[in-house]
Amino acid sequence: MKTTNPIRIPERTCVGCYSQKEKSALIHVVKHDGIIKPDFDGKAPGRGAYVCKCADCIRLAQKKKGLERSLKCSVTENVYSDLLTYIEG
């Protein structure tokens, strides 16, 4: 009798609240060629970090410098405002 493997859903950790969630429940922020930008499709190449799709986690990530730590560079205010605009709009 053949056993089937259960389907694994990829999980990632939010850099704001440190909770593990499905990849689809998080926003991917990527650093590629020195440019840092939100990757709302989750398919851009480069070094990445994830943050929850809620304003509190984005603000917490900014306060804790979670994106800076994960991407190993400084992150401008524009990246955080783009994330908040996406969440609120």
Hunting for tokens 């969440």 — which residue is that? 87
Beta strand 11-13 pairing with 20-22: antiparallel
Which parts of the chain fold into alpha helices (H)?
A: 55-64, 66-71, 77-88
pLDDT over 80 (residue 1) = no
Check residue 6 and give its pLDDT: 81
Check residue 2 and give its pLDDT: 63
What mean pLDDT is predicted for residues 56-65? 96
Which domains does the chain show, CATH number per domain?
11-88 (3.30.1230.10)
User: In the chain, what percentage of residues exceed pLDDT 90?
Assistant: 82
User: Which tokens is 71 given?
Assistant: 């991407």
Is 28 strand, coil or helix? strand
Identify the burial level of 50 via C-beta atoms within 10 angstroms of its C-beta, where 0-12 means exposed, 13-18 middle and 19 or more buried. buried
What mean pLDDT is predicted for residues 12-16? 97
pTM score, two decimals? 0.87
pLDDT tens by residue, 19-57: 999 999 999 999 999 999 999 988 899 999 999 999 999
CA dist 56 and 6 (Å) reads: 33
What mean pLDDT is predicted for residues 64-84? 95
Hunting for tokens 């190449």 — which residue is that? 45
Check residue 84 and give its pLDDT: 95
CA dist 46 and 53 (Å) reads: 21
